[in-house]
């Protein structure tokens, strides 16, 4: 799987952008668990501003000791993940994480070369920028694909067959991501240094393979709640699960 991620033609990835996980079962019934009391953050701080990289390679927002821990395995090129973020990100941050009851961790689950490219750029920035940049990449997803497709097959093929250290720089330029991140404070030389790190790209692919096997991930987004995989994968379903666990 890791080698496939690094050498698979981007054309195939673009053709399969709708192949991320379909909607899970709809949420049913009222929340059933006891309500968890809010937990105050340290003086002068807000839980939503406390963002760290985890040992598992994800980025966690919120109270590290929150009794309810939500983990998302998401792909930056998955439309279902973009929809989840559009509908749920603000509530997760401003209601659930802000209460101290819930921590939210996002782990990049890379599906294709363009996904690796965007992930490398998001993670090139400081940890405190991770969630804001991730949300902005999701909002820009359609424009990113429009640029890739407008470039044509020959340009995509040439990049895919080029030197590995230049490949992700080429995808970033083709998709408009170099300028996109430059406008958000990531200077072009810094971005290119991150994108030329082939070992890092391979590490993302390896982590995805490991997570897929460990958690039986069939598609994105996939969620863990307090360490266990749940079937819900839409914002209404995840919201119901959080409230059922006491985050209301």
Please, what is the average pLDDT of the chain?
90
Token pair in block for residue 151:
């470039």
User: What pLDDT is attached to residue 225?
Assistant: 98
Distance (Å, whole) CA 163 – CA 29: 54
pLDDT confidence bin for 122, thresholds 50/70/90: very high
User: Would you call 228 exposed, middle or buried from its count of C-beta atoms within 10 A (0-12, 13-18, 19+)?
Assistant: exposed
pLDDT confidence bin for 169, thresholds 50/70/90: very high
pLDDT confidence bin for 7, thresholds 50/70/90: very low
Distance (Å, whole) CA 53 – CA 31: 31
Average pLDDT over residues 165-192: 97
Q: How far apart are the first and last CA of the chain?
A: 40
User: What pLDDT is attached to residue 248?
Assistant: 82
Residue 10 has pLDDT above 80, yes or no: no
Residue 109 has pLDDT above 80, yes or no: yes
Write the secondary structure of the chain as one string of H (helix), E (strand) and C (coil). CHHHHHHCCHHHHHHCHHHCCCCCCCCCCCCCCCCCCCCCCCCCCCHHHCEEECCCCCEEECCCCCCEEEEEEECCCCHHHHHHHHHHHHHHHHHHHCCCCEEEEEEECCCCHHHHHHHHHHCCCCHHHHHHHHHHHHHCHHHHHHHHHHHCHHHHHHHHCCCHHHHHHHHHHHCCHHHHHHCCCCCHHHHHHHHCCHHHHHHHHHHHHHHHHHHCCCCCCEEEECCEEECCCCHHHHHHHHHHCCCC
Cβ proximity of 90 and 124 under 8 Å: no
Residue 136 has pLDDT above 50, yes or no: yes
Residue 16 has pLDDT above 50, yes or no: no
Name residue, tokens 């490991």. 210
Sequence spans of domains, the chain: 2-15+57-244
**Predicted confidence (pLDDT) per residue in 227-247, tens digit:** 999 999 999 999 999 999 999
Residue 224 has pLDDT above 90, yes or no: yes
User: What pLDDT is attached to residue 241?
Assistant: 97
Cβ proximity of 97 and 242 under 8 Å: no
User: What pLDDT is attached to residue 34?
Assistant: 82
User: What pLDDT is attached to residue 25?
Assistant: 58
Report CA torsion sign: 6, 8, 14, 16.
negative
pTM above 0.75? yes
Q: How many CB atoms lie within 10 A of CB 222?
A: 26
φ, ψ at 26 (rounded to 5°): -70, 145
Residue 9 has pLDDT above 50, yes or no: no
Question: Which CATH number is associated with domain 2-15+57-244?
Answer: 3.40.30.10
**Predicted confidence (pLDDT) per residue in 45-87, tens digit:** 999 999 999 999 999 999 999 999 999 999 999 999 999 999 9
Average pLDDT over residues 90-96: 98
Report CA torsion sign: 117, 149, 6, 221.
positive
């Amino acid at each position: 799987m890791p080698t496939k991620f690094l050498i698979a033609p981007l054309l195939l990835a673009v053709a399969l952008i709708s192949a991320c996980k379909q909607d899970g079962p709809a949420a049913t019934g009222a929340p059933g668990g006891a309500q968890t009391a809010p937990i105050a953050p340290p003086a002068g701080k807000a839980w939503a501003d406390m963002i760290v990289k985890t040992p598992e390679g994800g980025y966690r927002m919120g109270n590290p000791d929150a009794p309810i821990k939500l983990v998302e395995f998401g792909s930056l090129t998955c439309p279902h993940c973009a929809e989840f973020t559009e509908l749920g990100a603000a509530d997760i941050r401003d209601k659930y994480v802000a209460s101290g009851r819930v921590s939210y961790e996002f782990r990049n689950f890379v599906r294709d070369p363009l996904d690796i490219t965007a992930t490398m750029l998001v993670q090139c920035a400081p940890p405190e920028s991770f969630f804001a940049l991730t949300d902005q990449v999701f909002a820009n997803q359609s424009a990113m694909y429009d640029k890739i497709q407008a470039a044509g097959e020959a340009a995509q093929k040439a990049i895919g067959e080029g030197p590995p250290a230049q490949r992700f720089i080429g995808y970033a330029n083709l998709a408009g991501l170099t300028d996109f991140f430059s406008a958000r404070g990531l200077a072009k030389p810094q971005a290119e240094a991150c994108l030329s790190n082939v070992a890092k790209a391979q590490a993302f692919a390896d982590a995805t393979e490991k997570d897929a096997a460990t958690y039986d991930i069939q598609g994105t987004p996939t969620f863990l709640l307090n360490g266990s995989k749940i079937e819900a994968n839409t914002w209404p379903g995840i919201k119901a699960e959080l409230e059922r666990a006491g985050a209301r």
